[in-house]
Chain A
Amino acid sequence: MTKPFFAFLLGILCVKSTLAFDTDSAVYISSAKYTYQFVSNKKTSSVEIKQKKVVSYTANDFQANIPVAEVFNNHISIDNVTYRIDGKSPPYGFKPTYTYYGGDDIFYSDSKVCYFPLIIPKKGDNATVTFEETVNDPRYFTSIYFSDKYATSQKQVEIKIPRWMKVELKEYNFNGYNITKATSYIAGDDADLITYTISNLPAVKNEPNSPGPSYLYPHLLVMCKSASVNGQNFTYFNTLADQYSWYKSLIKNTVTDEAVIAAKAKLLTADAKTDMDKIKAIFYYVQDNIRYIAFEDGLAGFRPEQADVVLAKKYGDCKGMANLTKALLTSLGYDAKLCWLGTDHIAYNYDTPSLNVDNHMICALNYGDKTYFLDATETYLGFNQYARRIQGRQVLIENGDNYLLKTVPVADISQNIDRQTASLRITDGLITGEVNYLWKGEDKEEILAGINSVKKEKAEDAMMKYLSGNNNDYTITGMKLSGIDNYDKDLEAKYTVKTRNGISSFGKAYYLDMDNTRELIDAAIKTDDRQHEYWFAHKTSINREVELALPAGYKVSALPAPLDIVNADYEFHVKYTASPAKVTYSKNLLIKNTRLAKSKFTQWNKDIELLAKTYNESLIIKPSSE
């Protein structure tokens, strides 16, 4: 009897370790069944998708209280909502709330949410929630995600596809999950039934600096291509040309009053001498004067606002800003085009035609033999500089009846610079001296975004606090900033510093810390907690060159050891150099690859520990006589 019991016990342990349910979560999903069915609606002469989601929650604790929510919009309607707790109907008067669904980045959208609180009084009890929905246009039926906010024990996803419907399902991120697929033919309906069975699916986990969900969670990308039913033929996105054709229909007549646009373009470029001056003047005007406000209302979510309307309103979303940029440039005779792309938040490219492929619009400018991409939503990034989120991304560019596919260049690390040079000395037991800073690219963009998020009268204080590197006794005087209003130039800061933070004296010896910013010192990743790979904000090149003049009669007693770490993803270099009259501290921290894979976390943490150890070493200077 011992053996079977042991096997049973092993089984329990295996299930537990595989499930890895978060015991702090109020519930888990004991079972779920999602069914999708393509149907022909004769009344509207269209193809619809009927979907039913039945989810059974089991309470991990007493009085488990979770919000149940389902998002819908102009193309997805919720036809019926029910729930039962332990087989019983909800209390009298149960009525879900239907309301606008807003997000931080979107001013208005047609997204709405149906929600209600689900309270399961007893630990171990079940509640079953059912949503029945209709998608009224196959173009908007784009994906089926398997994961949920809560860990799922068992889930079944059934997709019934009549043979008159041409649809391709592409599987993503199935590796490492317990997912099986079965296909059968239902003769009576002349339809294929595809069934996915998933077990022990962990809950979705939101972590900062993570890839988008399409990189992380098992799901199906649904590509509805065409239908032929009831004597009618429908073409959705059978090819990328179909998708482009649909997009193109939305960008007809994107300027109502061309004269207004032309006059504005002329005014903006009146003092510009060269073509490049004119192009930059237009781009920087849109960046600086058009506030980003996103409207996503049905087709308006795909159709750019008229360029002259954006100009008048001084606000717009990415489509409107791209359209205005294009209109101003074309009015001056330049070859500017609208383009669509998916930022790096999205795992797909245009090999898989779908509305899920892109989420952004920018303007492409063909000038000379080069194509420049102008993204005015990046408010403080200079011309021909690209944000990480669009670098290397495929771009669908309008080109009459056809389209062009290009790629946004991947910027070299030198695009982004954060450089400090300082000339320091010891005066009355304090470190004093002159400090210069220079920022380029996305580093500059971050600083300017920070300055412009603080009230004018407090901006200088905020900047000084930033420059102090959170040191509590770092006094800045005579600060001068340049390049704040000219995005074409580097941002620079110059100031005089007096600090006692980096200096200690014991006897006649001074113990000095020549780095007041100590970047990445707390950048170790909690490997026991982190689930996703880590994405840095952008490529980074942090340089520090600090010279300390030795006081007369002093010499270097001990120099901290250098640090040199080089690998394909990042480099850390720290070095102290002594000469008779001065000590030079130099540091270079390079993030070359913005995506740090989970497999590299251990090495990263070791390297961060070495960097911290280096930061935590002091330079000692003593009187020459000692």
Chain B
Amino acid sequence: MKKPLLLLTLILTFYVSAHAQTYDQKASDIQKLVWDNPSAEFSAKNIPAKYNNESAVILAKAYTMQRTSSLKFKFLIITAGVANRVNKIATYHERVKINDKVALEKYSTLEYQKKFDNSLNFGIAKIRNIHETYVGAKIIKANGQEIVVNTNEAVLTKNTSKDQQGKLAIPGLQVGDILDYYISTEDSSENGGLDSFKDNDQVFVLANEYPVLSYSLYFQFNKKSSVFTISANGAPDFQRTTNKDGDEIYSLTVKDLPKCKGEMWSSPFRQFPYVEITNSSKSKFYAEYVDKGSRSAGLDANKELLRTHFNNYILDNEPQKMLKEYFDGKKGLKAAPLDSSMQVFYNIFKYRIFGSYNKGDVDDMSAINYRTAQSNMAIIDVSRLLTEMKIPHQILLVASRESNSLQNVLNFNDFGSIIKIENGNKPLYMSFYDAVTHFNEIPAKYQGEQALAITTIKKNSSNYVFEESSATIPVAKANENLVDEQLQVSLSTDMQKLKVQRLVKQTGYIRHSSQRALLSAMDIDKALMDDVKGDPLEKRISKTFEIKKYKDALISGMAKSANDTRNDFLEEAKGQYDQEPSQLSDFKVINAAINSTKPVFEYTSTVVLNNLVKKAGNNFIIDAGKLCGSFVQIKDDERQRTVDVYMPAARTFKYTVAINIPQGYAVKGMEEFNKQKVNKTGSFSSNAVLKGNVLTIVATRSYTNNFEKAADWPLITEVADAGFAFNNQKILLEKL
């Protein structure tokens, strides 16, 4: 593997010395460097027999990046400074065997940003920010013939002096060919504001859509660079060396990566090996004076950044004032039980976060219900005011189980924060996630995670000390994330359709998506306001300079039209029954459940469904199992599993289906509904009882935990299979 790395170094060195060249000269020289002396991996022509049936096989792929920088004296209009020009040169090189028409289609076109000049002009000075791309492609036919693609055939879909976008149709490419191509980019920037760890963050998942025989990563950074790397989920560490110029080199090669397979209930950033690497200038200028977060990488640095924010933010006492007013003064507040006062305190913060709007909300009002809070910033004032009120609490730093682990935090947004308030053996939690999150509700994505617990100690108003310990975030039980649906079912007079009156009650994590979809932004805003005796929306808007001129638009757009409400309920019903109801009526939200005092989200609707009744002679068969919606089916190729199971949450679904049996018919097949399957991962039970002319079927499906080991997958499939069998169960109405 020495050879490819040496070659890559040559490419990088070439770039540095090639500034004076024209685009075509550079392109030609890069082509020679990439192809003239290929490594064994990039000379390979054969794929292992085990991959013969794959759509495509990556024989080799490599990514190289070099960061250089030079100090350049810059005159600005009113001052003079030293501009740090950073050049980043990256080459992606891939050699792929095309085995079918799908791969042919995918690889037959190359689109790229040929040039983008985003430089800024300040009179006589210019802040350079230029991106250029060079591409090359050659085809290796089955007989070994190599055909170099003429990249001059690329068309420009945008062609201005500052912005050129290229598009190349690869000529002559056929199934059975090998395509060897590269995309080489050069970025040159003097804008230090775009050179943070976050800006330069790159993630490489060591798993691919196609099998990969060889995958190399190579990064070269000059002495003026800071570098931070992560190797996660079993990914190998970068090899770190130093060359004769003192540049630091990070490299990695992996062989024979199988293609990745998407699995139900998985968490890719917890399960697929990946490496993450970022870099920035060691210059302290931006870190000290422009953006303190720009040079923070890793959990420790970001924890320190949080402490810095903690110390520097000006405390806003308004929430504390509102809390006192809510309880009619200090005395009332003191008399209130802690859980009551903290619930109001939480609601005040939620109202202040989600009852505020900006121009972006005006531009896309359909997204208002989907806004989420930046919890790391939201908890700062909460914690500081709790400290002022002498309420013992901790800040829990936790990473989402849908993303990187806490150990693999790189940026400030790679983790979230929750407030935990001491309250005997029943601690109270405040999580700032979405507008419908309740006091004491922890978002499902954090449940069960290991957290870093921080106790803040105030030395003075701008000096807080963090004391650390560890904690585990509690997990909601299956019955706390509940769907409880009651259905009244009757046959149409022609016995062809079913009329279903639904009453749906949802609690816990399960209710969030329904609330966001079925409630209007105005419903949510009003509930947030009422919870804390807050200002009316109109008044809040008028106080906000940015949006006060859009007041009418915002107020009008936040309310849902009757048509929108109908469409949202129709979509909900379509999702439940895998068919569009032929009729929808009597739909409404009964309880919006914005806060924890009435925590059950409740709505109703009536639908008419086709194709669930079959005539059989004088009898009728009802697809009764399907009235509970579509249950999960475990397919044959999903029965073997080696990766652990990340459920969205522990949860329970309960359906009570009351079917009115028409006069003159007897019910048969009820006994098939009396089933039960219980194991440590979950349970499924169903039963059917006929009372008078009403057949009541009760089905309950439950997943006990939000996480299971892969070894217990067969137990999960047992429960899922029992549910799926119920889903296909029918009853017979036999003519008497």
Chain A residues in the interface with B (C-beta under 8 A): 24, 61-63, 65, 99-100, 102, 107-108, 121-123, 289, 291, 293, 295, 297, 312-315, 452-458, 461, 472-473, 500-501, 504, 506-507, 511, 513, 521-522, 557-558, 560, 612-613, 615-620
Contact = CB atoms under 8 A, between A and B. Distances in A.
Contact of A100 (B109, B157, B621, B734): B157
A472 B630 CA distance: 10
Interface in B435-493: none
A473 B728 contact: yes
Interface stretch (B9-17, B170-178, B266-274, B291-299): B170-178
A108 B155 contact: yes
B680 interface: no
B264 interface: no
Contacts of B613: 616
Contact of B101 (A100, A452, A557): A452
Contacts of A289: 174
A326 B599 CA distance: 73
Give the size category of B's interface with A: 35 or more
A457 B614 contact: no
Given A63-B550, A452-B102, A618-B621, A513 B614 contact: yes
Contact of A122 (B109, B552, B619): B552
B556 interface: yes
Interface in B102-145: 102-105, 108-109
A100 B164 CA distance: 11
A102 B165 CA distance: 13
19 contacts: A61-B556, A63-B553, A63-B556, A99-B158, A107-B167, A313-B169, A315-B171, A452-B100, A453-B102, A454-B102, A457-B55, A461-B637, A472-B724, A500-B728, A511-B732, A513-B614, A616-B496, A617-B614, A619-B616
In the A-B complex, the 5 residue pairs with the smallest Cβ-Cβ separation, listed nearest first, are A558-B617, A63-B553, A62-B553, A313-B171, A455-B55
Contacts of B371: none
Nearest to A99: B158
A65 B728 contact: no
Contacts of B157: 99-100, 102, 108
Nearest to A59: B553
A507 B613 CA distance: 19
Given A61-B556, A511-B621, A618 B614 contact: yes
B668 interface: yes
Contacts, number: 128
Given A455-B55, A456-B55, A473-B728, A557 B102 contact: no
Nearest to A561: B615
B169 A107 contact: yes
A293 B169 contact: yes
A174 to B, nearest CB: 32
Contacts of B619: 620
A616 B611 contact: yes
A618 B615 contact: yes
Nearest to A100: B157
B561 interface: yes
B633 interface: yes
Contacts of A521: 611
B104 A24 contact: no
Contacts of B99: 456
A122 B169 CA distance: 47
A121 B101 contact: no
A100 B158 CA distance: 6
- Pick from B101, B105, B579, B613 the residue with the most CB of A within 10 Å: B101
B730 interface: yes
- Pick from A65, A291, A293, A501 the residue with the most CB of B within 10 Å: A291
B132 to A, nearest CB: 19
Nearest to B669: A506
A314 B615 contact: no
Contacts of B108: 291, 293, 315
Contacts of B523: none
B557 A504 contact: no
A461 B55 CA distance: 14
B55 A121 contact: no
Nearest to A102: B157
Nearest to A557: B617
Interface of B: 53-55, 99-105, 108-109, 155, 157-158, 165, 167, 169, 171-174, 362-363, 496, 549-550, 552-554, 556-557, 561, 563, 579, 610-611, 613-619, 621, 633, 637, 668-669, 724, 728, 730, 732, 734
A506 B554 CA distance: 59
A93 to B, nearest CB: 16
Contacts of B54: 455-457
Contacts of A457: 53-55
Given A455-B102, A456-B100, A24 B614 contact: no
Given A123-B552, A452-B102, A617-B615, A24 B561 contact: yes
Given A312-B171, A457-B53, A504-B669, A123 B556 contact: yes
A121 B557 CA distance: 12
A497 to B, nearest CB: 14
Contacts of B633: 472
Contacts of A522: 579
A102 B157 CA distance: 8
B154 to A, nearest CB: 10
Given A63-B550, A557-B617, 6 more contacts: A62-B550, A121-B550, A123-B552, A456-B102, A613-B496, A616-B615
Contacts of A291: 104-105, 108
A217 to B, nearest CB: 25
A616 B102 contact: no
Nearest to B363: A65
A287 to B, nearest CB: 12
A613 B53 CA distance: 44
Contacts of B563: 24
A43 B174 CA distance: 49
A587 B611 CA distance: 19
Nearest to A511: B616
A377 B102 CA distance: 17
Nearest to A617: B615
Contacts of B174: 289, 314
Contact of B610 (A456, A612, A617): A612
A313 B165 CA distance: 22
- Pick from A295, A504, A620 the residue with the most CB of B within 10 Å: A504
A291 to B, nearest CB: 6
Contacts of B173: 314
Nearest to A119: B363
Contacts of A558: 616-618
B614 A511 contact: yes
A505 to B, nearest CB: 9
A62 B611 contact: no
Nearest to A513: B614
Contacts of A500: 728
A613 B494 CA distance: 10
A453 B101 CA distance: 7
A102 B613 CA distance: 48
Contacts of B614: 511, 513, 616-618
Contacts of B362: 63
A620 B616 contact: yes
Contacts of A612: 610-611
- Pick from A289, A295, A618 the residue with the most CB of B within 10 Å: A618
A285 to B, nearest CB: 12
B172 A313 contact: yes
A504 B611 CA distance: 16
A315 B158 contact: no
Contact of A63 (B155, B557, B668): B557
Contacts of B550: 62-63, 121
A295 B549 CA distance: 47
A472 B728 contact: yes
Contact of A504 (B618, B732, B734): B732
Contacts of B611: 521, 612, 615-616
A357 to B, nearest CB: 28
Contacts of A513: 614
